[in-house]
Structure formats: C-alpha cells, structure tokens
C-alpha cells in the first residue's frame, strides 16, 4: 500500500500529538471538500482523526493520490517554513498543480 503520511511518523519525530492531529484534520477536511476522499477516507474523517491517522492510497481518490504525490512534500515544507497549517496553502498548491 502506498502511504503518503502517517500521524505516528510525526509524533514519533517529536511533534506534539495535538499539532499532528490538527494537521491531519485540515488535510482530510480539505480533501473531503474537494471530493477527493474515498469511502475509506470519509469513514476515517467521520470516526475522528487520531494519532493513528494514515493518509494512504485507500483513503483518497486516484486524482487526489496524484496531487498528493506531486505536492504534499511542498505542503509539509510550507508548514516547516511558516508554521502555518491551512486549507489556503493546500488550495494554492492545488491551483498550481491543476494548471
């Protein structure tokens, strides 16, 4: 299975659980608003994002997987540089990707 990101990777890397969960909630909600979550991803969002959240190929649509493969690292770099986790940053990256 192709895994894009896991909450545990960040928590084990020293980032607070609260901050990591906030990040995953933003990403999952953004993907959902764009119609890019699969039924598995929607279920994970509805059940509540926790410290075992996994953003993977089963959680997203094929188009979302392509976008995330192309731009997710840039989103993480944006967070590292600015400290800002936001749907607006994902929108910007998606607009760049879609051109």
Short-list 68, 64, 56, 52, CA closest to 11: 52
The segments of the chain whose pLDDT lies below 50 read: none
Hey, where are the domains in the chain?
3-98
| pTM as predicted | 0.94
Residue 95 CB-half CA count within 13 A: 6
pLDDT of residue 40: 97
pLDDT at 2: 96
Cα→Cα distances 73→4, 20, 76, 93, Å: 9, 15, 5, 11
Residue 83 has a pLDDT of 85
Residues with Cβ within 8 Å of residue 71, at least 6 apart in sequence: 93, 94, 96, 97
């Amino acid at each position: 299975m192709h895994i894009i990101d896991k909450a545990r990777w960040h928590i084990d890397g020293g980032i607070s659980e609260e901050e990591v969960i906030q990040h995953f909630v933003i990403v999952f909600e953004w993907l959902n608003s764009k119609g890019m979550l699969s039924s598995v991803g929607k279920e994970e969002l509805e059940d509540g994002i926790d410290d075992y959240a996994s953003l993977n190929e089963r959680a997203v649509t094929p188009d979302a997987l392509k976008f995330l493969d192309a731009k997710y690292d840039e989103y993480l770099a944006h967070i590292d540089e600015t400290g800002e986790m936001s749907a607006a940053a994902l929108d910007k990256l998606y607009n760049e990707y879609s051109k």
